[in-house]
Chain A
């Protein structure tokens, strides 16, 4: 059965512990290193430093297909994957791809020399955005249409735990879902769950 909604340009943000105390400056050389060493499949192009703006996108590595960032939007620090290029496949494929990419980035950052021990995944909380207001306006209708897809995806990701979905209801904002699990997972566990 086809889905009533097309989920493209999926963004996944994995919330960090004690975000306010994390110094983002060391990310700049790390992200330059990602470009130089071509650490991901996507073509990475440039580093953008927005530490000077309040509750902003932090430090980003800009790519052709996607951006990666340690993002502080809404004052919540986390590792964010922003899929820019449209993807074929099902909604589940696209949710999986974005979550996997965000987790892989977090895993890499957790072990990068200067960020090691400073940037830590909380294990319970993530945010999901659909960065396309035409495909997914932030309305009740979208929320209804997306619900089955979201439960199918998060049920698998947080398997063995209960979780809650909270929707951002401000209509001008992107379609946004906050997901909270009652059990803490490591990045590796979530990556394993995605592939299971």
Chain B
């Protein structure tokens, strides 16, 4: 697309490290081969994905305009960059930032790329990456060259590879960390990049580092491999190591990582990860994508067996000097400040400064310094703001800035007396908003704005909640100011809704014959302790009622909490049955049949999936038996959740399975009213009618949700454990959500 692509190649030739230059040249050749029809579209798709170049919503060349599907006309015609992915359709470029660490020049590079190739916006993700949207595939080699010249690679930012190695952004300055994990995360990131043992995974693999167990910043519980810094005394000498976890992950059904070892010496983290990678590559699922993350392998084998295999693998490795080459330097690693430490400012510009000081600064363990959090609304920053931020970090620090998993920036080593001046500079460019880490600092994935998988508008909802809460957040009771709201546009959890106080993920429901965007309300998650516990869905509520859900639940918490009680503990004490009851009226469709506001999503006026409207339905009059039965199944899965929380594990598992069978039956009855109550008969009929015909298939997840049912059937005679019941409840909810989606898609009206 850009007229200057060839110029950049020449201009940057001497500035790009040889290995990266060759890698990008090879990718450019792949682009040429694909254009000539000499490379299969699937192979090309994996090629670009491994370089972080994604597809984006509407890239199949069709877009629903609110009344019909329209075909997009592109100059490259039918040429594709992957299955059902048009060549010219805009895509997303993910850019890996290991540990979130950047310098000022790199911020400026990001600004240039956002301006020239994207829409002037760079987006910070929940895994410390950047994303640029609306990128043309022909521009991606140049974009990669400009990044490479600035010391950044997009290699393995997507695909079945080792993703960005994340790390606590406060490593090295946090007051209660064990030690600075920065150099260890960097060593692992460099070691794994392009490593031959990491090239044949069935799915992605995400590592994370944390300097402590108690805070959230590293989120090690929800990673494929997680390292928490620990020390131990060996013969009077303090030794550094990591409490190491494996098999965590969010996704549709979240798994809490399992403890692999209480203490892995720092010299062992690289070879141990290599061994884990080899076992994962060898034994991990390859064909069934929905069971291919390492969490399933760990679950299936059991942590003890998995550990045994990894340790056996470890003995077979050929020693590599990189395993320990970094260790001495790592121990001495320390960032330096630009200015001497100084006293806390005795006064500041205004009241806004005082608020900002309270929420956006964090005292460092080094006296006289603070880390400043720059809060980004929805993780977005403009090119001009990036340049201004580069100037600010140069002026106040030695360019010590990192992205955070809350989609913000942490500027480290700010001398305290610089705070008023730094605040003024940030505020002048709109980066001085208070509320970092507070209820107003909402985390969200891209959702239906740009993601192909989005079901509801997570960014639209986040924008609306941000607007409402920003106006009142400082009048809110102190107890709710630090709650975490996290939103995902679908069940895939990119917005990390499972570890929020108030989590939401997008689903659709049929109301009066029309599809209506909804969000499942997820309660009981914990952000602290590296994502200490996962919440479960309580109720599906129309998108337009979610702000009221937030108001109602927070008001209830303020009124009903005991002293010092966290929101998670409050949810546990009051119980989800009671809280669900409190939301019951909000789950109802609008009483006025002329009120169409519920039938579109936040920030998108198009009538939501009007094209799926059932033949012969009459808005506001018909509640089909399918909807009725699915609502019954949903009640059952909620009962299962209540049983689990009450310690009735067996009952929870059985009820969850039963809810799936009943949801399947609801669909089966469309064509076979006389179906019996025998689960085997229902599931057999469901398989014939909906699985084999692919009617139940999700456009992107394929038969994943139906497989949950088939697997549950196979295991239905076994004893349920706490873990298996919990997973089954999540799977049952997803199966029911998929049943709703299937029913919407079929558009068949069945009289009440």
A positions within 8 Å CB-CB of B: 6, 8-9, 28-29, 32, 35-36, 43, 45-57, 60, 62, 64, 67, 73-74, 84-86, 131-135, 172-174
A32 contacts B66, C-beta separation under 8 Å: yes
Task: Tell me which of A51, A54, A60, A67 has the highest count of chain B C-beta atoms within 10 A of its own C-beta.
Answer: A54
Annotate B378-390 by CB proximity to A: 1 below 8 A, 0 otherwise.
Answer: 1011101101000
Contacts of A50 in B (CB 8 A): 119-121, 380, 382
In the assembled complex, the Cα of A11 lies from the Cα of B596 at a distance in Å of 38
B430 contacts A84, C-beta separation under 8 Å: no
Q: Does B112 contact A (CB under 8 A)?
A: yes
Contacts of B3 in A (CB 8 A): 6, 8-9, 86, 132, 135
In the assembled complex, the Cα of A9 lies from the Cα of B73 at a distance in Å of 21
Annotate B60-86 by CB proximity to A: 1 below 8 A, 0 otherwise.
Answer: 000101110010111100000000000
Contacts of B431 in A (CB 8 A): 54
Residue of A nearest to B603 (CB): A49
In the assembled complex, the Cα of A6 lies from the Cα of B606 at a distance in Å of 41
How near does chain B come to A63, taking the closest CB pair, in angstroms? 9
B430 contacts A53, C-beta separation under 8 Å: yes
Q: A32-B606, A45-B90, A131-B116 are in contact. Are A53 and B121 (CB under 8 A)?
A: yes
Contacts of B63 in A (CB 8 A): 35, 45-46
Contacts of B460 in A (CB 8 A): 49
Interfacial residues of chain B within 506-543, with CB under 8 A of chain A in the complex: none
A48 contacts B7, C-beta separation under 8 Å: no
B115 contacts A55, C-beta separation under 8 Å: no
Contacts of A74 in B (CB 8 A): 384
B interface, size bucket: 35 or more
B430 contacts A57, C-beta separation under 8 Å: no
Interfacial residues of chain B within 187-240, with CB under 8 A of chain A in the complex: none
In the assembled complex, the Cα of A84 lies from the Cα of B115 at a distance in Å of 11
A135 contacts B7, C-beta separation under 8 Å: yes
In the assembled complex, the Cα of A49 lies from the Cα of B459 at a distance in Å of 10
B66 contacts A36, C-beta separation under 8 Å: yes
Contact sample, A vs B, 28 pairs, CB 8 Å cutoff: A6-B3, A8-B4, A9-B116, A36-B70, A45-B89, A45-B90, A46-B57, A46-B58, A48-B121, A48-B133, A49-B460, A50-B119, A52-B380, A52-B466, A53-B381, A53-B430, A54-B429, A55-B382, A56-B121, A57-B382, A62-B134, A67-B134, A86-B3, A131-B115, A133-B4, A134-B7, A135-B3, A172-B108
Q: A54-B431, A134-B8, A172-B108 are in contact. Are A29 and B605 (CB under 8 A)?
A: yes
How near does chain A come to B663, taking the closest CB pair, in angstroms? 34
B11 contacts A134, C-beta separation under 8 Å: yes
Q: Does B136 contact A (CB under 8 A)?
A: yes
Q: Does B679 contact A (CB under 8 A)?
A: no
Q: A28-B605, A32-B606, A62-B134 are in contact. Are A73 and B120 (CB under 8 A)?
A: yes
B positions within 8 Å CB-CB of A: 1-4, 7-8, 11, 57-58, 63, 65-67, 70, 72-75, 88-90, 108, 111-112, 115-116, 119-121, 133-134, 136, 377-378, 380-382, 384-385, 387, 429-431, 449-450, 460, 463, 466-467, 603-606
In the assembled complex, the Cα of A81 lies from the Cα of B448 at a distance in Å of 25
Q: With A55-B385, A84-B136, A174-B115 given, name 8 new contacts (CB 8 A).
A: A28-B604, A28-B605, A43-B72, A48-B119, A56-B120, A64-B90, A134-B7, A135-B3
How near does chain B come to A13, taking the closest CB pair, in angstroms? 12
Contacts of B66 in A (CB 8 A): 32, 36
B381 contacts A45, C-beta separation under 8 Å: no
In the assembled complex, the Cα of A67 lies from the Cα of B431 at a distance in Å of 26
Residue of B nearest to A37 (CB): B65
In the assembled complex, the Cα of A56 lies from the Cα of B429 at a distance in Å of 10
Contacts of A35 in B (CB 8 A): 63, 65, 70
In the assembled complex, the Cα of A59 lies from the Cα of B72 at a distance in Å of 21
B88 contacts A48, C-beta separation under 8 Å: no
In the assembled complex, the Cα of A45 lies from the Cα of B71 at a distance in Å of 10
Contacts of B377 in A (CB 8 A): 52-53
Ranked 4 nearest A-B pairs via Cβ: A54-B430, A134-B4, A86-B3, A36-B65
Residue of A nearest to B88 (CB): A64
B603 contacts A86, C-beta separation under 8 Å: no
Residue of A nearest to B432 (CB): A54
Contact among B112, B121, B378, B605 for A57, CB-based, below 8 A: B121
